[in-house]
Amino acid sequence: MAVCVAVIAKENYPLYIRSVPTESELKFHYMVHTSLDVVDEKISAMGKALVDQRELYLGLLYPTEDYKVSVFPNQLCRYGYVTNSKVKFVMVVDSSNTALRDNEIRSMFRKLHNSYTDVMCNPFYNPGDRIQSRAFDSMVTSMMVQVC
């Protein structure tokens, strides 16, 4: 399941990042940040497509990082997703034990998107602020490995 979930603003600053507490938080921040290279490239490649034909799911961003190195101890896959308002979701998934199918990833992103939409619908939330929502938090928790 997911080991890191991030929501990135249109301007590419983080709105929300959460990773499993066992790993170094910093590494995941770097992982998410470097993923934006590919996300940006994919977004600019699909820029010409009509809005309603656009696929929000960007798929696997980098080839699976499955090398046994202490800094990335597991098989980690990074997936991306972009909303129509150019808010990006990046998810790092540990696939060392169970490989997830594309469909499962898609449905995880859809869940994330729905929850994000709920956050946006909150009249007290100012778009562009960091996301501090209990509902969103618990949804992300449900998607992450229960380590503790």
- Containing 114, the helix (H) or strand (E) segment is helix 102-121
Binding mask 28-57 for another protein (x = CB under 8 A): -xx--xx-xxx--x----------------
Tell me: does residue 61 bind another protein (CB under 8 A).
Answer: yes
Site for another protein, residues 1 to 30, rule: CB under 8 A: 11-14, 17, 25-26, 29-30
The HSE-up count of residue 133 (CA atoms within 13 Å, CB side) is 24
Tell me: does residue 63 bind another protein (CB under 8 A).
Answer: yes
Task: Check if the beta carbon of residue 143 is closer than 8 Å to that of residue 114.
Answer: no
Q: Which amino acid is at 57?
A: Y
- Containing 143, the helix (H) or strand (E) segment is helix 134-143
- Contacts with another protein, residue ranges (CB under 8 A): 11-14, 17, 25-26, 29-30, 33-34, 36-38, 41, 61-63, 66-72, 124, 126-129
